[in-house]
Amino acid sequence: MSTDILGQMPKLTPMFEQYMQVKQEHPDALLFFRMGDFYEMFFEDAEIAARELSITLTCRNPNSEAKIPMCGVPHHSADGYLAQLLEKGYKIAVCDQIEDPRQAKGLVKRAVTRVLTPGTVVDDLTLTAKAHNYLASLYWDADKGAGGLAWVDFSTGEWSGLHSRRETELWQWAVKIAPRELLLPAGRKVPQQQFDLAAQVTPLAQQSAFDLAAATHAVLAAQAAADLATLDLSDKPELVRALGALLSYLRQTQKTDTPPLGEFRPLDLSRHLILDEVTERNLEIFRRLDGKTGPGTLWHVLDRTLTAMGGRLLESRLRQPWRELGPIERSQEVVACFFANDDLRRALRKPLETMQDMERLATRIALGRATPRDMVALRESLLVLPALRSTLEQAMNAAEGQAPAELAALLKGWDAMADLTDELARALVESPPLVITDGGMFRSGYDPALDELIQLTEHGEARIQEMLERERDGGGIATL
């Protein structure tokens, strides 16, 4: 439809030439194009957005025979609209103005600053606090009879993968982890006759996406590793290809060569019990037989966690239960320790009530997308750590020589991050603004150079007037 309109237009304006150039780079995404105080959408993107968001569809040139469909949303309230589109499975390219319009010579420079997809969300737009948000990638080599499935929760930096000689096993695990997006080589299709995979399938047409050499380089760089053997990947080339596709997709969507990720931990099936999707559904672990979540599921009965991080850990334990006896017994020892002491258990839960989602906060900070409120949330969460450690040490002492080994190991590796806590406490005001550009985020006295710049910004005219009076008096020139 848009090509028909373009064919009827005598000449594109410079703004539309810029728009079309950006759109050609992101043909599979809805383009949010920043114009002043609004994000505008044109052509088919406008028709889709107007329908899905229930906003007014207008046109850019109402007096022309070839009318250009247009709609827009205010930039300051765009997050709500972005969330609606992501929930419906759309991919969105956000094109911002990258220079000050007041200093621009001619057309304001614009560039895509981020690409939002259902599987790569890091902001609290569509994320469920206690559930993972997975992006997955599957590669199968029919000639070698081997394949790999890789997945990442980019909001927390957690990633893992599975290598298998059975293709059906890979698809079973793809169904189990329930990714929001599934990356496949171009032309590869989900075997719908065997598995009901609700993920949005994204075919990767670039030859380099699943290339082994490129994937090897990307994985080693992401983990700062010298060779694949240190990651237990030297004999799993198909899994390396799947991981490379994940990293390639993250680089494209996040506009960074170094997406923040934690330690890669391949899934060892010998250590975990395999519950296929049929068993998981019949046991109603996460969903009832009617497909609904919440009351009536095992997760809902067991979940008494206070933090989002604890909720996601419980989800992982239920989805991948231990097969080995050792980890089960170590967990039971810690549970028994706190079950036997009500006071200690209450003391442990109290500070956890104010703990924010530090995993997702850390990712947003690493990507440079954190708000001032995010920084304060991190500070308040770090301030909780001393109370948590104190309670855990009390539990160790109360055990009287029979302290759980898991608890002892946790305390031995404890890092209270006191230096970071102190830095944030000295730097940030108690109630910061919603956005950093509003100012007033830092405490007075934190940084003398910053204080000087703030003074010039807020009282610049008065400072200039003082300089003028000083020069008049010093030079004796009353008309200066």
Q: How confident is the model at residue 196 (pLDDT cuts 50, 70, 90)?
A: low
Q: What is the mean pLDDT of the chain?
A: 88
Lowest mean pLDDT among 44-58, 169-183, 430-444: 430-444
Amino acid 350: pLDDT: 92
C-beta neighbour count of 243 within 10 angstroms: 32
Is there a contact between 347 and 391 (Cβ–Cβ < 8 Å)?
yes
CA distance readout (Å), 259 to 205, 242, 256, 308: 21, 16, 6, 22
C-beta neighbour count of 133 within 10 angstroms: 23
Tokens found for residue 391 = 């309670």
Question: Alpha carbon 159 to chain centroid distance?
Answer: 12
| Distance from C-alpha of 383 to C-alpha of 292, rounded to nearest angstrom | 38
278 Cβ neighbours under 8 A, 6+ residues apart: none
Q: Average pLDDT of 220-227? A: 93
Amino acid 124: pLDDT: 79
| Distance from C-alpha of 97 to C-alpha of 107, rounded to nearest angstrom | 10
In 3-state terms, the chain is what percent helix, strand and coil (to 5)?
45, 15, 40
Tokens found for residue 470 = 């000083």
Lowest mean pLDDT among 62-71, 88-97, 216-225, 293-302: 62-71
Decide: residue 466, CB within 10 A, 0-12 exposed, 13-18 middle, 19+ buried: exposed
pLDDT digits (tens, 9 = 90+) for 80-129: 999 999 989 899 999 999 888 777 788 889 999 989 999 999 987 788 89
442 Cβ neighbours under 8 A, 6+ residues apart: 427, 428, 429, 450
pLDDT(46) > 80: yes
